[in-house]
């Protein structure tokens, strides 16, 4: 399914025309494909899979894994899926966003991609290398917080922590790109494939990640060292943080002097 707005002319695409591969207004393709006739059918099919595809693939994989673990008397993942179905779905959606981008970084370069894209463009090679390093670091980074025994029991934490090293490396590399890199036609096409066509927005998102990740870590550490605040939010009778602020508001207004 095509995006809501064309990445070329920026015009809104009607819902009935979002299943096309090209924009009905400017007639440009939403995603650049190699178009190589010698590429295998599997390569052409995997070249541009979206978040929805990876979501269903992960649901199937985790479902099979949960049943296999249950057969070996390790029901941690199955218990998490059963007791927290909403958080499980949100976790898989979060991972699917990263999987779609990672697939566009790897598959066009691995499955009979043109040599000039695979070898002669240092920026594309660096994205692939940093993605590999980030995925390798992501496993011990998640284990550092969840532990080996609670790895599947704390699936929500694993889903959040595992992509963080990859996201940080992507953000760092985005800030190292020069104007020459953005002006290179093949690099620009590659950046468009992974969702970073606009250079200014690309750098802004990178800064947001590099600032947001340490800030989130600081907030998490603050709640660890001040558990009474987390308990206040957790023990709120209605809806967590909102209920706590409503209670504070009612307490404040109840002590205000009446008019007249």
Q: What is the pLDDT of residues 188-244, one digit of tens each?
A: 777 877 777 677 888 888 899 999 888 988 888 887 787 776 676 666 555 555 666
> Is residue 18 classed as helix, strand or coil in its secondary structure?
coil
Please tell me the predicted confidence (pLDDT) of residue 1. 47
Please tell me the predicted confidence (pLDDT) of residue 34. 47
Please tell me the predicted confidence (pLDDT) of residue 118. 55
Greater model confidence, 213 or 27: 213
* Average pLDDT rounded to a whole number, residues 133-148: 88
Q: Is the pLDDT of residue 27 over 50?
A: yes
Q: Is the pLDDT of residue 98 over 80?
A: yes
* Average pLDDT rounded to a whole number, residues 137-158: 86
pTM: 0.68
């Amino acid at each position: 399914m095509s995006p809501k707005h064309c990445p070329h002319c920026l015009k809104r695409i009607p819902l009935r025309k979002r299943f096309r591969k090209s924009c009905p207004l400017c007639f440009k393709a939403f995603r650049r494909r190699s178009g190589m006739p010698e590429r295998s059918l599997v390569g052409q099919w995997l070249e541009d899979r979206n978040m929805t595809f990876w979501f269903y693939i992960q649901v199937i994989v985790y479902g099979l894994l949960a049943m296999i673990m249950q057969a070996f008397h390790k029901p941690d993942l199955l218990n998490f899926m059963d007791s927290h179905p909403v958080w499980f779905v949100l976790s898989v959606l979060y991972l699917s966003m990263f999987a779609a981008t990672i697939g566009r970084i790897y598959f066009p370069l691995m499955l009979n991609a043109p040599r000039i894209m695979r070898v002669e463009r240092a920026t594309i090679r660096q994205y692939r290398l940093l993605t590999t390093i980030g995925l390798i670091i992501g496993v011990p980074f998640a284990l550092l917080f969840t532990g080996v025994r609670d790895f599947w029991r704390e699936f929500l934490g694993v889903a959040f922590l595992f992509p963080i090293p990859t996201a940080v490396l992507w953000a760092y590399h985005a800030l190292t790109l020069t104007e020459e890199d953005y002006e290179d036609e093949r690099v620009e096409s590659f950046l468009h494939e992974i969702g970073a066509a606009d250079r200014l927005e690309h750098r802004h998102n990178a800064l947001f990640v590099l600032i947001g990740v340490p800030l989130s870590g600081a907030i998490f550490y603050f709640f660890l060292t001040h558990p009474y605040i987390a308990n206040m939010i957790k023990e709120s009778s209605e809806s967590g943080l909102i209920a706590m602020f409503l209670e504070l508001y009612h307490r404040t207004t109840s002590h205000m002097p009446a008019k007249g």
